[in-house]
Amino acid sequence: MTTIRMLVFAAAAVAMIALTGLVVPPAAPAVAAAAPIHPAVIASMQGTGDGRATFFVLLAEQADLSPAYAITDWGARGQWVVDALQAAADSSQAPLLRALESPSVRGHVAQARPFWIVNTIAVYGDRQAADFLARQPGVAQILPEVKLELPEVLVEEPSDSPETVEWNIAKINADDVWALGYTGAGMVVANLDTGVDYTHPALVSKYRGNLGTGASGPFDHNYNWYDPYWNTTFPQALPWQAGGTVPSGHGTHVMGTMVGSAGANQIGVAPDAQWIATFGCCPDNVTLLAALQWHLAPTRLDGSSPNPALRAHALQNSWGGSGGSSIYAQAMAALKASGMFVSASAGNNGPSCGTLTSPGDLGSVFSVGGTRSDDMIYAYSSRGPNPFSSQTGPDLVAPGVGVRSSVPGGYYQEYTGTSMAGPHVVGAVALLWQA
């Protein structure tokens, strides 16, 4: 009986529509939920005079880089990764970049810089801009700048008393590998740091931009040096903080441990490897991301004509920030997919557990802790477990206490910290890959 009543009611409704011309409108399409805006984005805007701050618009579309692992040619593999990343970024970012030019939004955005190593757009804008972008199709998250820092290192008195082979080099048996004929020849290593004094006697002949054989060059800095912050045109030690005035010797010291040698100053693990470098640490996240992108596809000094075939074989990252960054996770994964070995110092936040810093907490990098000359762990070396994944970290340890290496001006000095440990691993990779 109930079924009959329902059929009669339905028939009557159809008849009423036919008689009156009434058409029932279709249900309105569901409005897509806005992408989440990280609370730190809003907080950062409240702390500025103009209500604006830098934030990152992370898009949902991500390139599948897994086919790259089957490509054996170095140049072809790098180019394939770059092409895949750029294709994903171009197609998904274009509507957003057009939207940012609309009159209703233009006044709320001061700057916008797209990247492709991560499918993201760095925006300097206000709350209205963040809200607008969060509502756009294809946007996954609105993320804040991550606080970056140069890990604090202990600096000893200047040391100009070289050993034939420094203790840390002998500790990892690098000199024994040299005796077998493997010194890193044919390999290129890099660091993303505070810059490198390329004129240092222990480094100048190993610089890939040195077209000669000695300290006088000639030199070509295209594809061998990149500074997206200070815009310098040749490798040099630079202040690591925004607005800084005192150049930091950190990057020069790190590079020396990778490749440095000059007479009795045998300070580097792979003395016949070549090096290239970027200034990327650590004024802001935009500078760092630009440097990482360059490492995947080095360019001329003016940023033109990128060539992934000229990327380094191994990259050292002796910088750190708050953990779990999805932006840096994607950037490091892209570098790894290109075939590069990516090392990161674990950080100097120990001895407590769970103190790894990013990028040392990311699965696509090799995280390195520090040890003393007696093989005991350096007290302040950051420890696992990794608070952001189930992976073990650090992956291994290397000498990090009282490491003598190059500093700007042609000098040598002992530094202590996991920043000094990581470059041992990059140098060792150069030896192994040559073999």
pLDDT per position as a tens digit, 60-100: 999 999 999 999 999 999 999 999 999 999 999 999 999 99
Nearest to 247 by CA among 260, 233, 236, 258: 236
Which residue among 250, 295, 313, 424 is the active-site one?
250
pLDDT at 29 over 50: no
Share of the chain above pLDDT 70, in %: 91
Position 253 confidence tier, pLDDT thresholds 50, 70, 90: very high
pLDDT at 386 over 90: no
Q: What is the pLDDT of residues 48-63, one digit of tens each?
A: 889 999 999 999 999 9
Helix axes 74-99, 127-134, angle to 10 degrees: 110
- Per DSSP, what are the bridge partners of residue 219? 210
Active site residue 108: no
The C-alpha atoms of residue 252 and residue 407 are separated, in whole angstroms, by 5
Could you tell me the CA-to-CA distances from 330 to 7, 223, 286 in Å, in that order? 58, 23, 15
Domain annotation for the chain: domains and CATH numbers:
39-145 (no CATH), 149-434 (3.40.50.200)
pLDDT at 161 over 90: no
Pick the range with the lowest mean pLDDT from 252-261, 290-299, 350-359: 350-359
Position 159 confidence tier, pLDDT thresholds 50, 70, 90: low
Which residue among 381, 406, 419, 424 is the active-site one?
419
In one-letter notation, the amino acid at residue 410 is G
Q: Which two tokens stand for residue 256?
A: 């020396």
Active site residue 193: yes
pLDDT at 30 over 50: no
Q: What is the pLDDT of residues 211-226, one digit of tens each?
A: 998 899 999 999 999 9
Active site residue 419: yes
Q: According to the model, what pLDDT value does residue 318 have?
A: 93
The residue ranking higher by pLDDT, 252 or 327, is: 252
Hey, what's the torsion of the CAs at 425, 427, 428, 434, to 10 degrees?
A: 140
CB neighbour list of residue 413: distance below 8 Å, 6 or more residues apart: 155, 156, 157, 158, 159, 249, 253, 404, 405, 407
pLDDT at 6 over 60: no
Which residue among 193, 197, 227, 272 is the active-site one?
193
